[in-house]
Copies of this chain bind each other. A is one copy, B any other.
Amino acid sequence: MRADAKKNYENILEVASVVVAKHGADASLRDIARRAGVGLGTLYRHFPTREALLEALLRAGFDELTAKARELETASSPDDALVSWLRDVIACAGNYQGVVAAMMAAMEDTKSALHASCVTMRTAGTRLLTRAQAEGLARTDMDGDDLFSLAAALAWLGDQPSSAPRAEHLFSIIASAILTNRASSDFRAQPPL
């Protein structure tokens, strides 16, 4: 990649991060190009689709989540690992409002730039779920797809102004449905002293 092209690429990404954080995943691409000081065609050259841009924005977070899943698989008890990872996935998707809808759409669209990342995410979650199920710590009538859907639903609730303030509580309710033999209060972000 030529030096000027690389600079444009990184500039667009940086501006997009700010704009998408403020206006959500449906932010105007024109606006991003304008603020980045590049032509609209340049944005499209580097990011042929909106999903490609979102994927670039989310990549770092996704990589972290994948690493964290691997780490948790050996470092924590199966149920703590699952809950902790789930919370992080939801927090990651919550960085940019509206992105969770794009992720759900990408699950069904093999050609989406977000598809691979989402499948990787689901696979990592499935492993943590299976491990918890094997030890009788998670309900056995659900699979990785269900887990991914529930995580997405919680991320979506975090995007909605009317439910965002209760996001933690809603998380604990759903977590208590996934995990077995655990009190709902076990899933609070700050555990009681």
A71 CB-CB contact with B under 8 Å:
no
Interface residues on chain A, size class: 20 to 34
7 example contacts (A-B, Cβ-Cβ < 8 A) are as follows A139-B173, A141-B169, A142-B173, A146-B166, A146-B173, A152-B163, A153-B154
Q: What 0/1 pattern do residues 136 to 168 of A give for CB contact below 8 A with B? A: 000101100110011011101100111100100
A177 CB-CB contact with B under 8 Å:
yes
Which B residues lie within 8 Å of A153 (CB)?
Answer: 153-154, 156-157, 170
Check if B146 sits within 8 Å of A170, measured CB to CB. yes
Q: Give A contacts to B, CB under 8 Å.
A: 101, 104-105, 107-108, 139, 141-142, 145-146, 149-150, 152-154, 156-157, 160-163, 166, 169-170, 173-174, 176-178, 184
Q: Helix, strand, loop or mixed for chain A's interface? A: helix
Of B141, B152, B156, B174, which contacts A177 at CB under 8 A? B174
Which B residues lie within 8 Å of A107 (CB)?
Answer: 162
